[in-house]
Amino acid sequence: MVGIAIPTLALFIKFKPSYKVTISGEEVGYINNKQAFEEDVKTTILNTNDKKGNIDTLQYNNEPNYELGLVTREEKTKEVQIAEEIKDNVDITYKYYEISVGNVPVDAVNTLQDAENVVNQIKEEEKDKKENIDLSILEKYTTNAEEIKTNKIETAKENITSKVAEKIVEEQKEKEEQERINAMPIVNGIRLAYVPVTGTISSRFGVSSSIRKSTHTGLDIACSIGTPIKVTSGGTVISAQNEGSYGNLVKVSHGNGIETWYAHTSKMYVKAGQQVKAGDVIAAVGSTGNSTGPHLHLEIRVNGVATNPQKYLYK
């Protein structure tokens, strides 16, 4: 027994048990304790980019292999270096929670519990208001830690509450705008939703003048040169070109026999065949053609006949 024990003791004096670590068959070094090392590796990875609370899964590109053996006691272990190398061979998937107001992402937090706390606190504070608070939570995943811009509950709540207030104001403005549009006149089923420009009426429909061969077929609204001109209703641009005494003239067909003409413009931003929506800026006020100063000459034509625009607008 003594004869066996002495060589064994000598063996352990000269050698020590260690794990050889290989990645893709290549030796990267030795470690002393496999279990402790794996825990250290996980901690190192979890601390990467300070996104500890966001990691969802860890996937090795090349699984490290551990082989227990004996090495000389002079052999130094390289836990830190090996952990870094293993970390570089791991794909990390991060998970976080995005909070939206009216389907518009506003802020994000690390956990579902944090997100629910933010949403519930805001709904509780807003419960006595008539407005509907549309808040939603979306679970998000990414492999790029730099994409994650999460905040603490207090900051997220402050940002989202501010956005909710903005949304309420926006919705109120939209409601008021829709009420304004609904109050605008309808001609042959076409709603004239917008006044093209704001200014001073300088010449009314039907008046005679020394600068015209016939009575006035439109309404002149004087305003600064360059003032944006909005199309009064949606439709199709018939033409956008210089037409003699009209100067630069934009004609828009709105359907049902309704056309609007915008004359003497300095610039035209549309072309024939283009579709426009009510309120789109189609030109700028100018003084081209037969004009004595910057103004918009507006015509409303019903089945080809010029009608007094003040029957509908600028009353």
> Does the model's pTM come out above 0.75?
no
Question: CA-based Rg of the chain, rounded to a whole angstrom?
Answer: 38
pLDDT at 304 over 80: yes
Instruction: For 235, list phi and psi in degrees, rounded to 5.
Output: 170, -155
Within this chain, do residues 235 and 156 fall inside the same structural domain, yes or no?
Answer: no
pLDDT at 107 over 90: yes
- Mean pLDDT for 160-170 is 91
Within this chain, do residues 274 and 224 fall inside the same structural domain, yes or no?
Answer: yes
Instruction: For 294, list phi and psi in degrees, rounded to 5.
Output: -65, 125
pLDDT at 101 over 60: yes
**Mean pLDDT comparison of 44-53, 116-125, 148-157, 266-275, highest-scoring range:** 266-275
Within this chain, do residues 150 and 250 fall inside the same structural domain, yes or no?
Answer: no
Closest CA to 92 of 39, 149, 53: 53
**Mean pLDDT comparison of 10-24, 65-79, 117-131, 274-288, highest-scoring range:** 274-288
Neighbours of 265 (CB within 10 A): 28
CA distances 242 to 156, 246, 247, Å, are 56, 7, 5
Within this chain, do residues 71 and 137 fall inside the same structural domain, yes or no?
Answer: no
Rounded CA-CA distance 21/62 in Å is: 12
Q: Out of 55, 88, 121, pick the residue that ends a domain.
A: 88
Q: Out of 130, 152, 182, pick the residue that ends a domain.
A: 182
CB 230 within 8 A of CB 281: yes
Determine how β-strand 26-31 pairs with β-strand 200-203: unpaired
Among 4-18, 53-67, 82-96, 245-259, the range scoring the smallest mean pLDDT is 4-18
Summary mean pLDDT of the chain: 88
Within this chain, do residues 199 and 295 fall inside the same structural domain, yes or no?
Answer: yes
Within this chain, do residues 20 and 109 fall inside the same structural domain, yes or no?
Answer: no
Within this chain, do residues 160 and 215 fall inside the same structural domain, yes or no?
Answer: no
Residue 2's pLDDT is: 45
CATH code (residue 230)? 2.70.70.10
Structure tokens at 211: 């600068």
- Mean pLDDT for 281-309 is 96
Within this chain, do residues 173 and 68 fall inside the same structural domain, yes or no?
Answer: no
Within this chain, do residues 72 and 99 fall inside the same structural domain, yes or no?
Answer: no
How large a percentage of the chain has pLDDT more than 90?
Answer: 58
SS (H, E, C) the chain: CHHHHHHHHHHHHHEEEEEEEEECCEEEEEECCHHHHHHHHHHHHHCHHHCHHHEEEEEECCCCEEEEEEEECCCCCCHHHHHHHHHCCEEEEEEEEEEEECCEEEEEECCHHHHHHHHHHHHHHHCCCCCCCCEEEEEEEECCHHHCCCCCHHHHHHHHHHHHHHHHHHHHHHHHHHHHHHCCCEECCEECCCCCCCCEEEECCCCCCCCCCCCCCCEEEECCCCCEEECCCCEEEEEEEECHHHCEEEEEEEECCEEEEEEEECEECCCCCCEECCCCEEEECECCCCCCCCEEEEEEEECCEEECHHHCCCC
Residue 58's pLDDT is: 75
Within this chain, do residues 19 and 75 fall inside the same structural domain, yes or no?
Answer: yes
- Mean pLDDT for 135-161 is 91
More confident residue, 289 or 46: 289
Q: Out of 66, 88, 110, pick the residue that ends a domain.
A: 88
pLDDT at 292 over 70: yes
pLDDT digits (tens, 9 = 90+) for 18-71: 999 998 888 888 988 889 888 887 777 666 555 545 778 778 788 889 999 888
Structure tokens at 72: 């000389």
- Mean pLDDT for 118-122 is 94
CA distances 221 to 61, 120, 157, Å, are 72, 53, 49
Number of domains present in the structure of the chain: 3
Helix axes 34-46, 79-87, angle to 10 degrees: 50
**Confidence at 1, pLDDT banded by 50, 70, 90:** very low
For residue 177, what are the domain limits? Answer: 95-182
**Confidence at 5, pLDDT banded by 50, 70, 90:** low
Within this chain, do residues 114 and 84 fall inside the same structural domain, yes or no?
Answer: no
Within this chain, do residues 117 and 206 fall inside the same structural domain, yes or no?
Answer: no
- Mean pLDDT for 306-312 is 96
